Structure 1
Amino acid sequence: MKTLNYTCPKCANTTYSIGQMRATGSFLTKLLNMQTEKYSTVTCKNCSYTEFYKAKTSALSNIFDLFGA
């Protein structure tokens, strides 16, 4: 896991956890329940403030998501 030089903008804490979130994009992907948008998250362990960063998704992962729904 890559270590970040992260300081929470709300409480100045330096401990954090990293996660990810997936979401639908357009109406069609919502209708088909395809999670085409992917975001990395950084959450402060002290105050739970969370920042989202858009991540790249591959066409292959979107196809697997369609069949896994």
Structure 2
Amino acid sequence: MPSEDGCPKCGHGEADVDTISTTGGGLSKMFDIQNRKFEVVSCASCGYSELYRADRSAASDVVDVFFG
């Protein structure tokens, strides 16, 4: 049963944070320009992941959102 203080899926309290880049549409897709960045927060136990726009500089803010 998920906990309010951990992963929304399994309740585990540890997460990994990584960054991915993706292409948008139009010319950026045609020229394979990866102009969109996202923070990926993944549960260290079950692998459940959520994407957040990388507008913020602090990864800890993203983890706080993931854990509620």
TM-score by length of 2: 0.69
Q: Distance in 2 between matches of 1:48 and 1:55?
A: 20
Runs of 4+ in structure 1 off by over 2 angstroms are none
- Tell me the equivalent position of 1:43: 42
- Tell me the equivalent position of 2:33: 34
Q: Distance in 2 between matches of 1:44 and 1:32?
A: 33
Aligned length: 51
Q: Which ranges of structure 1 fall in alignment gaps of 5 or more residues? A: 1-5, 57-69
Paired amino acid for 2:43: C
Structure 2 counterpart SS, 1:7 = coil
Structure 1 counterpart SS, 2:39 = strand
Paired amino acid for 2:45: N
Q: Which ranges of structure 2 fall in alignment gaps of 5 or more residues? A: 56-68
Root mean square deviation, CA, Å: 1.2
- Tell me the equivalent position of 1:18: 17
**Is 2:8 the counterpart of 1:9?**
yes
Identity of matched residues, %? 33
Quote how far apart the aligned CAs of 1:8 are. 0.5
- Within a 5 Å distance, the mapping from 1:50-61 to structure 2 comes to 50-56=49-55
Structure 2 counterpart SS, 1:25 = coil
